[in-house]
Each structure stands twice: as structure tokens, then as C-alpha cells.
Chains A and B, each alone.
Chain A
Amino acid sequence: MQKIGKSYIVGLSVARKSIFWGVFFFYFLLIIRPELLYHSLGRMNSWPRFMVSKEFFWETICNCGGLLVYLSALFSLCMSLPWLGTLFITLIGLACWWVGKTVLGKSIFKGIWILAYLPSLSIIFLYNRYSNLMTELLGLAISLVFLAIYTKCLFAKQYKRICIFGGIFVLMMIIAKEYCIYFAILAGIFEMLHSKNRIVGFCYCIIGMIIYGAGYNFYGWSANFLDINYLSTKTDRALLYLIYSLYIYFLVLIGLGSVSIRKTGEDKKKSKYVSGKIVLYFCEFIVLAGLSWIIHNQQYISQKALLESGYMSWNRDWEGILLTAKERPPVLYNILRYYDINKALYETNRLPEEMFNYPQDKQSLVLIEEEGIFQEVKNEIYFRRIELLIELGNIGVAEKLAYELLVNVGEHPLILSQLALIHLAKGEEETASYFLNKYKYVWKLGTEMEYVGLKEWHICEEEGIEVLTKSDIVQQAQKNRYPINDVFGKYSLSNYYSELLKKNPCNRKAYDYMMASLLLDKKLDEFAGCLPDLTRFGVKQLPRHYQEALAIYLQSRGMKDIKRWGIQPEYLHQANTFLQSFVKCKKDRDLAGQMLLKDFGNTYYYYFMFATVGEQK
């Protein structure tokens, strides 16, 4: 009976671990998606770029904590290959679990293995916020490894332990800078509760505190480290505090356990398997599942949607962007998603046909950032704005923004390629070569290479700058280039469209964006003035939204010169129907909006009547 029970429990234990780590691995791979983490330029603000050069190695390694920075830069690259990134994070999670389990095994609470899983759950929780935690994770992993080494010496003499602690602490300071504080505190708690001379353990903690607490903005550091600023809701914070409270609880348990070991000497005895443990296992399983569910529900869906949208934009997956827009309409950080939607519509020649099928924001066309936006998101907006400006031909403004991004974010391959393109478009090959030379030293893997622009730069590495100069991307930028040496002040595209079109009347993007901008601004007089230019692009029939806007314009002018515009009668009829319905419920604007939404929600009539300029529909 005893044997059957034992094997059953062992089997249950193995199954529990397998399930947990299987779920961990696939959750990270399929739900969090490391490629999205890597994709996010904004997140890479604090993401050190790895470079294949001796200089980078020595420059990084010679600083205090340089090894950790170097390793985190190196291992951050794993994220570009989804399976590798997932494997790496899973291994870190496993290492934390193993150390936790080993330590817990020495305590009287060794049955409560659930505590060993908590660090792994918090890893998932924080990655669900789409922050790059590589440095923190490696710092934690290194501290735990050294802690495990230190715990092996717990039965050595006091002076030896102090020497070992000192050595490890200095070593950790050199390789991991502030993360030595983890080690100091953990080792201190151990020592305090294990040794007869508890003051030593207390001193361990104090050493860590003094070195990194005093003279340092501890609150700022901890808030920054815990990513508290980024957790927007009270629930987020409460959950994070809960996890960290459990950590502290866990540490206290370890300490108490150690005391218990010292007193009872039970550490060498094997645990007995009793039938009651099955119930315990079951309870743990329930608790784990519950915690996992809570953590899953805390995922930043809007942030993920934003990253997905940007990622699909890299890969020119326009249909994917539009599908996501319908499934998960923009809620937070709208501007980039609105921009992606309009870009996807433009690239599939559907902007004037379908733009009002999707939520719109006037500012998204020119990518003017919202107030109070995070710096990381700002960086991403900057990056996309540079892309837009290059496509439109406004090279001068793009240059300014690209250099600002270079200073702010660092030598990211995308920024380097943008700067090279800008200088090639300006005919400055020598300057472009600096960026391309640097570009060769930056590691680029997996998803990054999917970015269409980068593929061409990769060719350049093999075949030289001359090939690149003749490439479509450079030729297009040169063709559309804004030639006039004006002085520009605050960033604005509105004045540039007409100049761009003067230089190159076939600049279709400038035309489409100008018309979209006029529609969003409800400037129908100007819109009507520019409409005849559409014939330049060989368009025979007016697109849907242009017809709708024209119908409103003609209604407002008493239907004069209808034939001149070539508007289809059905649009005039639609506009008429819309207006009649609107007039019926004119007194209650909200009711009118709800009533007309079903039939006219995707038309310009609806936008014109109900959208306040600058607000989303």
C-alpha cells in the first residue's frame, strides 16, 4: 500500500512539473510571443544592443556590472528567434525554481513546493506587460546561483563564511553591479536565522543596503526596478505587491526552516509519503492554476495588439493588420495602430475606399504623439514617423528625427538603416557608409531581418553601396525628395503635401494622405479643389469616400455643377437619406448617432456629422 502510494505521488509530482513547465513554455511562445518583445523598438530603449566587436566587449566589460550588461545584450538576441527566446526564459524560470526548491527542501515547509514556482510566475506576469527584463532576470539568476553556492558553506566556520560572502559580494558587484544586493539580502537572511551569531547576517544585509541604498535614490530605483510606473491599474500593482509579499514570506519560511533544521537535524531524513499529500498536491495544483489564470488575465491586450500591429507592419502583412483592427479595435496608444491601419489601407489601395470602415484619428496620419505618452512609445512613434517622412520625401525632417532617435535609443539596426537611406537619398554616400559600416557590427537575427527595408541593407553588406544606391527604396526616396531649403519649426506635414506634389505630381502617397487629411479635417472646399488632380493617377472612377464627401459638399452648395464632378447618383441618394434620418433625430444627437451607426457607421457622412475633429469615432 505504501509503495503504491509512493509511486502514485511521484508520478503526480512529475506530471505536475511537466504540466507547469509545458504550460510555461507554450504560454511564452504562443501567447506572449518573444518576437513581439524583440520587435518593440520602444522597449529596446533599455535594451542594450549587442555588437560583434572587441571594442563593444571591452567597453562594456570594463564597467562595473559590465558583464551583466554584455550578457543581457547577448541573450536579448534570443528573443528574435521565438523558440530560442522561450527556451532561454524557461531555463531561467527553471533555474529559479530549482534554487527555490533546493533551498525550500531544507526548511520545515518543504512540502509546500508551490512557493518554488512563484518566481517563474512573476516572470510571466512581468513579461505580460511587454517589458524587457533580461538584465533583471540575469541579475536574479546570477544572485541565486551564488546563493546556492553560499548555502553549501553554511556549516563552515564563521570566518570562512564571511570571507566567502565578501568574495562573492565583490565578484557580484563587478559583474552585476546593483544585483549584488539580492545576494547580500538573501545570504543575510539565511545567516541571520541560521547562525548563532545573528549579527553577522544582519551586517550582510546592511552592507548591501549601505552600498546601494545610501546615496542612491532608493525609492526611484525600486519603483523603476519593479516597473511600478508602468503598471497602470490598481489591480496590477496589488497583484505585483502580492507576488513580492509572497517572496518575502518565502524567504522568511526558508529562514525559519533553517532554524528548524539546525534545531532538529531533520535535514538528512527523507520525507515520508503520506496519503494526505495527495490532497495537498491537488490544492497546490488548484492554487497554481488560479494564479496562472489571474496572471493571464492581467496581460496588456492593448499593448500586445499594438506590438502585433507594428510587427505585421514590418512584415508587410497588411491584411493581418486590418483583421486585428476589426478583432481588437485600438483602445490604448491609439496613434500607432491608427497609423498602421491607414498604412495598410494605403498599401492595398483601399485608403479612399475603406478608411472609414475603421476607427480614425486625424493625428495618426501625421503621427503627432499624444500628451503624456511613455518615452518608449514616443520612440516608436518617432521611428514610424521617420519611415513616413522618407516615404513622403521629406528627407530633411526625417534626418532630424532619425538623429534624435539615434541619440535616444542607440545604434539600433533599424535606425542605422534609416539614416543610411536618408543620406543616400541626399546623395551623401560617404556619410551613408558610416552607418552601413556600423550596421555590419550590429547583430541582426530572425524577425529583424524580416523587415523589408533591412533586406536591402543586408544585400549592401555583400555587394557594396553602389548596388544599394540603385535600389528601388533609395530611388523612390530620391524621386520624392522635398527640394526646397526652407526653415522648419514645429513638426507639421500639412504644409508639405502641396510642395511635395509640386516637385513630384506623381507622389501618390502625398496625394492620398493629403486627401485623407482633408477629409479628417472636414475641409471639403480644399478637398474639392484637389479632387481633379486624381486623374493624374489614372483613376477613372471616384473612390467611395471621395464620392461621399463630394455628395456632402454638393449638398452644402445647393447641388450646383453636379455633372462636372462625375458623382454617381446613388451617393447623392445615400447622402440625402442620411441627412433626412439625421434631421428626424436632430434634437437627440446621441440617439441619432446610435440609429445611424448600423447603416452608415462606415461612411464619411457619419464621420462628418458625428466625429469631433481629433477624436476617434
Chain B
Amino acid sequence: MKNKVLKILFFLIVGGVVLLMYSCSQSPEIQTYETSKEAAKVKPDYTGLTIPPNIAPLNFSVMEDGEKYTVRISQKDKEENKIEIVSKSKDILIPHKQWSKLLKQANGSTIQYEILVKNDNQKWIQYQKFSNTVAKEMIDPYIAYRFMKPIYTWWKDISIQQKNLENHETRLLMSGMDFKNGCINCHSFINNKPETFALGYRSTHYGVGTLYIKDKHIEKIGNKWGYTAWHPSGKLAAYSLNKVFQFFHTAGIEIRDVIDLDSAIAYYDVETRQTETVPALSDKNRMETYPCWTPDGKYLYFCSGEILWENRNIVPPKEYAQVRYDLMRVGYDLENNCWGQAEIVISSKETGKSIMLPRISPDGKYLLFCMCDYGCFPIFQPSSDLYLLEISSGQYKHLDINSDYSESWHSWSSNSHWVAFSSKRNGGNFTRTFLSYVDEEGKFSKPFIMPQQDPSWYDRTLETFSVPEFITGAVEVCPEALAMAAMKKDKIESQTPISGATPKTKPQDWEQIRE
């Protein structure tokens, strides 16, 4: 009997507490408020964007002082599926399910945000609404990027991570710490698919090499691949061999700088496991780098710069600030393994700048590239901006999405409507990934930072996000398996056959520096 009474009492107390919590979570109707003429400042800046219909909640902080915050998000002129968040904290965390419902409903139209802040005088201030357009085109659900502290000379704890853009979940793809503080770089996927990709690594214990992953099967290739581009067929990968060195400046926003003293492009045949090159891609008087295939696989675009120095061992050579790369392309016939003659697409003499990182949209319409004042490493060049080339017309334009700082490492989504790129726009030192919508006319919308669950997370994160690559699903190979593959002794030996045109290279001697 006594136990029964106690049980009833217990359930009553629990029920009461639950009810109390529920009632507290409901916002009281705000009867009176003053209206501000300005929109509330929010961080990250998620105002006036075009957002994907499948993006995770864009949580933000309201940068206005107050005791309480109310945020209402709804489709413009529709009350259905309206989200209301009441918070004592500046951080506004949007419920995921409600957010997804709202975006589904608002697909192709606009959602608006209403922000009310209760100030110290207990008065509610209503700020001007701001809105976002929900695009019809989905974004690829995953993005893989390199995650590490800003590296100058030493490295530690470098990893490749994959983030689900639909729900904020982040998973490790591979960690350098799993193979005695190794370095990982140059992750490249075939047609944005997660099943087949290559990963470069180097380690003082296990040497340098490349992991080739296909359907969870991992092969270790003894050569270090630089910047890699997969032929759309997946049958061969073109990659650069770079004699790359880092040096430093005594002043400036970015004191790091990188120079290739020599470089060439080779390609690896997956079936024969052989590495080859052709004179068009390994001219001894030029440096070829950053290969990129057209979606039909008939052309390989790449960057090529003239070697201005005699001695290829002085770092940096006096002429380091005069090195500028042209955008070039070379035809290729896969069936006959036949290469054409290299031709200049955009000349650096014409632009006065160095052209880097060509990336062609999967629909083959556009080529996105960087231009900076000099050199081969745009992420260390505050002058680096993104440009868009319309392939059919050969016209290119400077994009509005650029900032005063470096923009680089861009990637197209599989539907050619979303672009992810690395930018240092938040102060010039920390690389972050930004997303932007591209319409049919090649117009880019205002870029926004890749969302995180905690809106203030970026403010205290000292890691950089580099080389963002869209993928259509998660990579299912476990990180430990990749590390084990990097550590094992068995590997595919594939001789780099570059001689004559460019002196035969020894990749193991070439320190690859990437951010």
C-alpha cells in the first residue's frame, strides 16, 4: 500500500515537472513591441541567401544585446509550418525536423526570418525581417575537406573529414594520427561519387604514396600524386608532380608562400597500373600543374607557367613574383590513348595574373578558376579571386562572390548548381568553406559559410578547412582501414617515366606542401 502511494506520488512529480518544462518552453504571445528600422545582425551572416532545399538548419547567433530572443521563420506569406524559437541565449538553434518541413514546403520560394529581442528595459524590439530563397536544386549531401591547424613547417593531427550537409553530422574519413602523425592531402573523387577516390599521404615512417580506393577495396600506390583529376570514365587519373617548396615573408597578411621550382603532369592507368606522360604535359621549359578533365573526357585542362630560373634548387628564386601560369588544354582520345597538342585557353600575358585551379562544372558549361598576382598557390595569395569561364564562348568574368582575401579550392556539386570554395574572408588567416548557388546563367548567389550545429563554433575554431569536395554520399571505408593500408608494405610500384622533357623526378624527394 505504502509502495503504491509512493509510486503514484513519484509519477505525479515527474508529470508535474514535465508539464512545467513544456509550459516554460512555450513562448508567451508578444503583445507589444517596438519596431527597429534595421535588421538584426546575425552571425554567421545568413541573410539574403539562396539556400539548398536539403541543407541542415542554418543556426545563427543574434548579435544584439538582450535578455530574451524570439525568432520566427516561415515561408513568405504563409503561416503553415512556421517555426518559432524562444531562447535566453543569443544562439538560435533551429529544430531539424521543422526546418526540413519548412524547406520542403518552401522549395523554389522564399522563407523569411522575424527576430524580436527583449532588451534590458523589458521591452521587445522587432527588427526588420530578412529572407532567404530556397533553391529547387539540391546540394550534394556530403562534403569532404582537409581539417588541420594552420601549417607553417610542422604538421600534427591532419585529417580528412566528411560532413553531412543535411544534418551537421561530421565523420572522419582518414586521420594522420592513425599512422604515426602522417600527412594526408589531395583527396579526389570520380564524378563526385564516394565509391572511388584517391588520397595522397606522406609519413616519416611509411614514406609517401597514394591510396586508391574502389568499392571499399584499397590499393597502395608507391607514387605520390599531387593535384589529381580523374578521367570521368575512372580509367585513368592525371596528376601533377611538383617540386614544391615553401618560403616565408617578413610582413603581410599571409607570410607563407609556396613555389614550384618545376612540375609536370603524368597519368596513371588503373588497368595496367602504369604511369605515363606526354610531351604536352611535361615541357622541360614549363611547369604544368592542376589538371582537370572535361565531363566528356575529351580534354584535359591544366595550368602551365614558364620556368624563369636556371638553377632549380634556390628557394625562392629571385623571379618568384614574376611566375604566372596560363590556362591550357590538351585533347585526349581514351579509346586510342592518344593525346593532342597543348593550346592556350587564357594567357597570363593577357590577364597579367597567374591562373590556377581550373574546375569544370559537371554539365560542361563553365570552368571556375582562380587568378592571383603571381605563383602557384592561391590559398597563400590574398589577391586570389574566383573567375568563371563560359567554355562555349571563351568569355570569362570576375565573380561578385570574391572578397579582399584569398578565394580558392572550389568544387562543383554533381548537378552543377552549387559551388563550395575555400575563403579566408573572415580576417585573412583561417580558411573556411563557403557555399554558393549558381543559376542557369552562371550567376552566383551570396556565399554563406558551411553551417555548423553550434553557431559560434567557427569563432573559436583554430583549424582550417581546405580543399572542400562535394560527394553524393558518405565514404563508407573506415578510417582505420585507410591508415592500415598506408602502413602496409605491399604497394604498387609504378615508375614515373618523365625524362628528357622535364628531368626525371623522384617524388619521395619532393616535399609536398598543401594547406
**Interface of A with B (CB < 8 Å)?**
55, 394-397, 399-400, 403-404, 406-408, 411, 423, 426, 428-431, 433-435, 437-438, 440-441, 481-489
Contact = CB atoms under 8 A, between A and B. Distances in A.
Contacts of B248: 396-397, 400, 487-488
14 contacts: A55-B454, A395-B251, A397-B250, A399-B255, A400-B255, A404-B152, A430-B427, A434-B430, A437-B460, A440-B460, A482-B251, A487-B250, A488-B249, A489-B315
B507 interface: no
B11 interface: no
B426 interface: yes
A400 B152 contact: yes
Given A430-B426, A431-B427, A437-B460, A407 B156 contact: yes
A366 to B, nearest CB: 16
Given A486-B249, A489-B315, 17 more contacts: A55-B457, A396-B248, A399-B255, A406-B462, A407-B154, A408-B156, A411-B462, A423-B429, A428-B253, A428-B429, A431-B427, A433-B427, A438-B462, A485-B252, A486-B250, A487-B248, A487-B316
Contact of B460 (A407, A441, A482, A489): A441
A428 B255 CA distance: 13
Contact of B251 (A407, A423, A435, A483): A483
Interface of B: 149-156, 247-253, 255-257, 315-316, 320, 426-430, 454, 456-457, 459-462
Contacts of B257: 487
A266 to B, nearest CB: 47
Main secondary structure of the interface of A (DSSP, over half): helix
Tell me which of A399, A428, A485 has the highest count of chain B C-beta atoms within 10 A of its own C-beta.
A399
A483 B252 CA distance: 9
Nearest to A436: B460
A489 B247 CA distance: 7
A396 B428 contact: no
B460 A434 contact: yes
Main secondary structure of the interface of B (DSSP, over half): loop
The 3 closest A-B pairs by CB, nearest first: A430-B427, A396-B250, A431-B427
Nearest to B320: A487
Contacts of B462: 406, 411, 434-435, 438
Contacts of A434: 427, 429-430, 459-462
Nearest to B148: A407
B156 A428 contact: no
B509 to A, nearest CB: 20
A489 B153 CA distance: 12
Given A396-B255, A403-B150, A487 B247 contact: yes
Nearest to A400: B152
A268 to B, nearest CB: 40
Contacts of A408: 154, 156
B250 A404 contact: no
A428 B428 contact: yes
Contacts of B252: 396, 485
B249 A485 contact: yes
Contacts of A484: 250-251
Contacts of B153: 400, 404
B371 to A, nearest CB: 21
A426 B153 CA distance: 21
A394 B427 contact: no
A342 B153 CA distance: 29
A403 B152 contact: yes
A486 B248 CA distance: 8
B431 to A, nearest CB: 12
Given A407-B156, A411-B462, A482-B250, A431 B430 contact: yes
Contacts of A411: 462
B399 to A, nearest CB: 22
Nearest to B425: A430
A404 B315 CA distance: 20
Given A403-B152, A408-B156, A437 B459 contact: yes
